[in-house]
Structure 1
């Protein structure tokens, strides 16, 4: 069984959102999308906190469980070399906290990181074209999460 997140948020080194992606956005209410936007903003406080330097999820030093709110568990990862912050939220009722689940969450973060790097390094995208970058990221995330939902 695969995990499908509620949202995926990419935030650059200047705390500017690159993308807040909500799988199956057309099926979600606008309030849900706004809630995930707020969760992404709240996560910035955690990234700036000294607590972020020493709390981590068991054997995954880069992966942090940053907060749980309104039935959503939010995890974050900071890529220190680039300042990229990846925030992913999951419905709490889909999580059981086992080691296999943490491995799947870590793999999902790695998939998101890889997709981001591939899109940013794509020579066919105009340098600094944020709209093209966001659309490419959304397309790649759709591919990742639609194929994940099919494998459930």
Structure 2
């Protein structure tokens, strides 16, 4: 299942690594980056998380919140967040329901029961602006930021603010 630009993102409610619950209504009024990743503490997941962390101020300046979503437990995510020094929320989809809703239901690397690495950019109303079905963790955060900026400038994407 692929969520197309302009379509509403599926509603969800997931616990964060810090115990706070997050859902689509909590993101209303700001753009959001939902990035799915398969395994906390893996080299590529750490690389991707750190890339988002380094650019976090620029995402905030562009009016977007970043949230990582994994099928790891809250405890695993809390250890990962602490080990990497991350300041953005990591959400636990241990039941895999949200991964299925967003089409990130399996990892292409044979990690059974793990979310596939992919990302969605959502607008202020929770509609899909852009979807990255395949991700290279080395450059992905910058690509998302570039797309966010082009979209904000009206140069990219099927969804425009206020539409």
* TM-score (ref. length: structure 1): 0.40
In terms of fraction of residues, the more helix-rich structure is 1
Q: Quick one: higher RCO (CA 8 Å, sep 6+), 1 or 2?
A: 2
